[in-house]
């Protein structure tokens, strides 16, 4: 029979295994409480990414590591690569969210940019992507011009400045804690460590 003491020991060891690294503010993450207004606090994780960033392509399914109850938002940034292409893709991404086609759109654009090596550079390239995932032009234009899409586009433009996003992917937890990805560059499992850190911060 397993005694109470052994059960407690197992629970403690499990907790230690989950967060094996001792995460430190200023080293593994930054607290933005003094630089970001409290009105930006929100539960969950916000990821800033670019469709033209190879690290973002590698980490494209990172959100799947979290339970469904964790609110996870992904915002596209416009400062990597050609600005005109970025703005066009950001608008299309916002429209895909409105249409409920966000995941298919992300998968297809990353495929174009990094698997097929045929990056989206103009409207013809974009139209081909929309066609491939089943978004009709009329529905796309309607959603792109909607209030919800315009709101998302505005947030994707403004929030990187609010959180001083300078590289991608960047992860913000609770609208307050910013992950320092570079702190894990020597880790044998950097993705797992970042995942553990985010889970740690979600419990703060």
CB 95 within 8 A of CB 144: yes
12: pLDDT confidence band, cut at 50, 70 and 90? very low
20: pLDDT confidence band, cut at 50, 70 and 90? low
Instruction: Report the 10 Å Cβ neighbour count for 76.
Output: 29
96: pLDDT confidence band, cut at 50, 70 and 90? very high
Residue 21's pLDDT is what?
A: 75
Collapsing DSSP to helix, strand or coil, 94 comes out as: helix
CB 197 within 8 A of CB 85: no
- Say if residue 169 is preceded by a cis peptide, omega within 30 of 0: yes
User: Would you list the domain boundaries of the chain?
Assistant: 23-202
Quote the percentage of the chain above a pLDDT of 70.
Answer: 90
CATH architecture, range 23-202: 3-Layer(aba) Sandwich (3.40)
Give 41-71 pLDDT, tens digit per residue: 999 999 999 999 999 999 999 999 999 999 9
Instruction: Report the 10 Å Cβ neighbour count for 39.
Output: 7
Q: Compute the average pLDDT of residues 169-177.
A: 98
Residue 204's pLDDT is what?
A: 87
Decide: residue 102, CB within 10 A, 0-12 exposed, 13-18 middle, 19+ buried.
middle
């Amino acid at each position: 029979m397993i005694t109470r003491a052994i059960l407690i020991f197992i629970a403690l060891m499990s907790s230690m295994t989950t967060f094996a690294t001792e995460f430190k503010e200023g080293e593994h993450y930054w607290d933005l409480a003094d630089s970001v207004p409290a009105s930006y606090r929100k539960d969950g994780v916000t990821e800033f990414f670019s469709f033209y960033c190879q690290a973002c392509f590698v980490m494209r399914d990172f959100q799947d590591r979290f339970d469904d109850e964790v609110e996870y938002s992904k915002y596209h940034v416009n400062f990597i690569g050609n600005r005109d292409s970025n703005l066009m893709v950001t608008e299309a991404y916002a429209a895909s969210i409105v249409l409920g086609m966000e995941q298919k759109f992300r998968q297809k654009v990353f495929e174009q940019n990094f698997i097929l090596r045929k990056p989206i550079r103009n409207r013809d390239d974009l139209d081909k992507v929309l066609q491939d995932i089943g978004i009709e032009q009329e529905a796309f234009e309607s959603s792109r011009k909607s209030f919800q899409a315009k709101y998302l586009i505005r947030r994707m433009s403004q929030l990187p400045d609010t959180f001083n996003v300078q590289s991608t992917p960047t992860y913000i937890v609770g609208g307050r804690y910013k992950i320092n990805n570079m702190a894990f560059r020597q880790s044998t499992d950097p993705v797992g460590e970042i995942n553990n850190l985010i889970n740690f911060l979600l419990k703060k």
